[in-house]
């Protein structure tokens, strides 16, 4: 299993660390329904605590484990609208995943986690909270390539439309990337 069920004290989570907290949330890992619990989307991790047990059993997912999160309303694959996550185990068996491992081995290392709120209207807020908190934990392997942003070497400026540098020295164009064509780039386009 992706997660280890352990005792979690929901009262020990600092309020400032909580982006969203909702009760009566069903949790599924792959096809297994773990029951109803409290979902806490925190700035440091995602927690789910089983409401049916007095010991507060639950699990914790750290953001680097979460490969994907989305709202799923596709009832052909799952009968309930849910916050869908693909979660990656950090270990494969007793060994860490190696760079040369096959795609099948890597795929078996992924699990589907679904959170189904008691009120479907909460899905949008759950997703927004996940997006905000995930941004606090960028993937170190996801980096911009050297050509994604053009460094201007100066702060401030920009054009009359508000494009340009936002005091960080990068010329962002209209949506983050400088799309100025290179000289001669389209010279033979009519051929």
The reported pTM is 0.65
Compute the Cα dihedral for 117, 123, 129, 133 and give only its sign. Answer: positive
pLDDT tens by residue, 77-116:
999 999 999 998 754 333 443 444 555 554 568 999 999 9
Indicate the fold that domain 6-135 takes in CATH: PH-domain like (2.30.29)
Q: Is 103 helix (H, G, I), strand (E, B) or coil?
A: helix
Going from N- to C-terminal start, the domains of the chain cover 6-135, 144-176
pLDDT tens by residue, 10-24:
667 888 899 999 999
Residues of the chain with pLDDT under 70: 1-7, 9-11, 54, 90-108, 142-191
- Give residue 61's Cα distance to chain centre: 11
- From residue 127, how far is each of 144, 149, 182 by CA, in Å? 25, 28, 39
pLDDT of residue 170: 39
């Amino acid at each position: 299993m992706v997660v280890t069920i352990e005792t979690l004290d929901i009262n020990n989570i600092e309020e400032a660390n909580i982006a969203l907290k909702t009760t009566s949330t069903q949790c599924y890992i792959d096809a297994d329904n773990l029951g109803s619990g409290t979902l806490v989307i925190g700035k440091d991790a995602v927690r789910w605590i089983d409401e049916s047990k007095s010991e507060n059993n639950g699990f914790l997912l750290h953001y680097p484990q979460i490969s994907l999160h989305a709202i799923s309303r596709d009832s052909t694959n799952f009968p309930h609208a849910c916050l869908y996550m693909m979660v990656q185990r950090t270990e494969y068996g007793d060994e860490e995943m190696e760079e040369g491992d096959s795609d099948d081995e890597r795929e078996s290392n992924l699990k589907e986690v679904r959170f189904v709120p008691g009120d479907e209207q909460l899905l949008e807020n759950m997703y927004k909270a996940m997006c905000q908190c995930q941004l606090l934990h960028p993937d170190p392997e996801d980096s911009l390539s050297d050509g994604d942003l053009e460094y201007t070497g100066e702060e401030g400026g920009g054009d009359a439309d508000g494009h340009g540098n936002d005091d960080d020295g990068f010329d962002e164009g209209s949506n983050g990337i400088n799309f100025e064509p290179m000289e001669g780039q389209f010279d033979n386009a009519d051929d």
